[in-house]
Structure 1
């Protein structure tokens, strides 16, 4: 999308869909993901370098050659990020153009930064999507826990250097977002409401899922924040799962508390 209103599609992806007669990540297959992997690895791009950025300016897009620009500008020009809307003169809100692009980027970043293989993401992603489809919330959270525990502990050194709890919680929200997107679940991070920001939010088949993450606290505290700030007011669906999650920074274990509205 060049203006946030008019969108393009991947013609080879459409052809492969009709040929295979099933939905797959054809966006990734018809692109050249190896160049993304090499780019991220050679420049030590981190998850937050991409997910913390919500906007991009025209100046940033035009000021450097593509091989020397920022990771976000590179992804916009490569088609893995797109303009969602124009915010101001020369300033645009950006997002993944589709779930396939988001899934591809998330899987590459999780493999590079946390040693979580794309094969494992594909296998667990299928289980996760099935659990969500069948509304088996405990199964869904256990799969997320398994993915979390599979991540390389060698990568946690940079996290431990973050002293403020707020920064730590923000980082883990980004990791959880990447895990969900990498598994093929389209979600939103830091969804704004009139009372605050929801850490993670997604819907499936008329059911909403609201997640609030805490670090070294309790899942009940996270759940109570959802209720106190009435985050479920955005739901408007037949059912909404309120999920409070606590992450123990020492051993990276997660625990949760769930309510249904």
Structure 2
């Protein structure tokens, strides 16, 4: 039996990965470059993308742990291996419900550092203690300090829809992070990570010297795994996954790319795979939505609903300027920055002439996982029920049973409570759009992305179905539009049954009122 290699699932400490002989994708050439050409950096990346491991690797490097870099690119690049005092702050490990929780977490780290560098300021505010620790570390060691802050924005994200608490967190963190500017003379290196970018965050208003490398091409692959790294590092795992699922090596790589690749953090940069999903699919030998199983923040759904955002844009792609998605804003009228920075959208195109970016879902895991997650927030259908119904939808259309399909569709609209809908056309469109997009996992579907096209087209082995929906109109009007607009003309040479389905929704019944099927 083939010996299984060790996959670092859930391990975010560089020392443990290296000393435990876990597989490691070597990023140390980039890490050396960053550490030796500048001082204060900021990097925004989605959750589960290796930010904590990156911070831990910097920590090992600045602590002079040459032994941990044996056989890596860093071993040949670094010749001095100096040891610096490292202050590593991780804000990811706690739930912040009050301002006291945040202060307590800061104090916990300060107390640990003060045991090494002096306790003379324990009765002062966190920012005063932080400044003193940095200065004392320099005085006692003769070396400038290294400050590494992981998930700087975790408290802010947890309070994103609670404006008073958010303001309190901003006040505390602004003072604390502001120390990094006033203490510059005592600092060798500063690196902060988070999900959200800092451009519009008042906590960084006094820290304007940070080098934001989030969208710089040289660092686009710093977190995540490129296709070349995937094949070079995980060849054995790819082969085993393919054997388990009846796929060739190339077919397995293609399937992995469809599900987990496609993240672009700069318009011209190479795409990267989600490392968390890759490790888990290799460990289980099953293709699944692993990133989503770690939890999707509900504040994204709240922002979507508050904004009445057109979900069709998320699937079809939305063109925006850089500032429209790269800056930190938690506004109900613009949920795009939070959706993008959380990893649910990524850069898929760029028009240099007009400087517009196209944002889309990065891959199938995110596309279907995100829409499946949205269903309970728009309907009474639960997560567990959604997958069952979508599979049934697919089977019913393949069997040509449109009546059963439509009856099942009614379940998604049945009994929608008023707190889930403002009874507008947009809400009904969202439900319909989610259902038909989720069917794309099993059958080829197209959903309307521009005027003049049918609302939905579903292609099975034997037939092509064209759906048109009206709100408080008539099924006859919907059917007439299919004919008059010639929605079936592009498919007349396919040699399949062509089926027209006109559907009317009623605001009064909050469901499908009537439908007509015609071949």
TM-score by length of 2: 0.41
Q: Which has the larger radius of gyration?
A: 2
Indicate the residue corresponding to 1:232 in structure 2. Answer: 488
Structure 1 window deviating more from structure 2 (97-106 vs 67-76): it is 67-76
Give yes or no for the alignment of 1:178 onto 2:178.
Answer: no
Could you say which structure has the higher strand fraction? 1
Give yes or no for the alignment of 1:259 onto 2:518.
Answer: yes
* Residue ranges of structure 2 left out of the alignment (5+ in a row): 1-262
Give yes or no for the alignment of 1:51 onto 2:307.
Answer: no
Aligned 8 A contact 1:47 1:109 in 2: no
| Structure 2 CA distance for aligned equivalents of residues 83 and 187 of structure 1 | 23
TM-superposed CA distance for 1:58, in Å, is: 0.9
How many residue pairs are counted as aligned between the two chains? 244
1:65–1:215 Cα change, 3 Å:
closer
Aligned 8 A contact 2:378 2:431 in 1: no
* Residue ranges of structure 1 left out of the alignment (5+ in a row): 163-167
Aligned 8 A contact 1:110 1:178 in 2: yes
The CA RMSD measured in Å over matched residues stands at: 3.3
Give CA-to-partner distance per residue, 1:9-65, whole Å, 9 cap, x none: 445545555665555434523xx3332x24433x46358415254222212123x22
Within the candidate set 29, 33, 40, 2:301 is matched to 40
Indicate the residue corresponding to 1:128 in structure 2. Answer: 393
Give CA-to-partner distance per residue, 1:45-98, whole Å, 9 cap, x none: 358415254222212123x22667942222222221233433453212333233
Q: How does 1:183-222 map to 2 (within 5 A)?
A: 185=441, 187-192=445-450, 196-205=452-461, 207-222=463-478
Greater RCO (Cα-Cα under 8 Å, separation 6 or more)? 1
Indicate the residue corresponding to 2:328 in structure 1. Answer: 65
Aligned 8 A contact 1:56 1:73 in 2: no
TM-superposed CA distance for 1:202, in Å, is: 3.8
Give yes or no for the alignment of 1:247 onto 2:505.
Answer: yes
Aligned 8 A contact 2:377 2:420 in 1: no
1:191–1:259 Cα change, 3 Å:
farther
| Structure 2 CA distance for aligned equivalents of residues 207 and 153 of structure 1 | 37
Aligned 8 A contact 1:116 1:151 in 2: no
| Structure 2 CA distance for aligned equivalents of residues 229 and 180 of structure 1 | 21
Please give the secondary structure, in 1, of the residue aligned with 2:482. Answer: helix
| Structure 1 CA distance for aligned equivalents of residues 307 and 391 of structure 2 | 23
Indicate the residue corresponding to 2:56 in structure 1. Answer: none
Give CA-to-partner distance per residue, 1:180-208, whole Å, 9 cap, x none: 33566574432447xx1322234344743
Please give the secondary structure, in 2, of the residue aligned with 1:155. Answer: coil
| Structure 2 CA distance for aligned equivalents of residues 192 and 218 of structure 1 | 22
| Structure 2 CA distance for aligned equivalents of residues 257 and 230 of structure 1 | 17
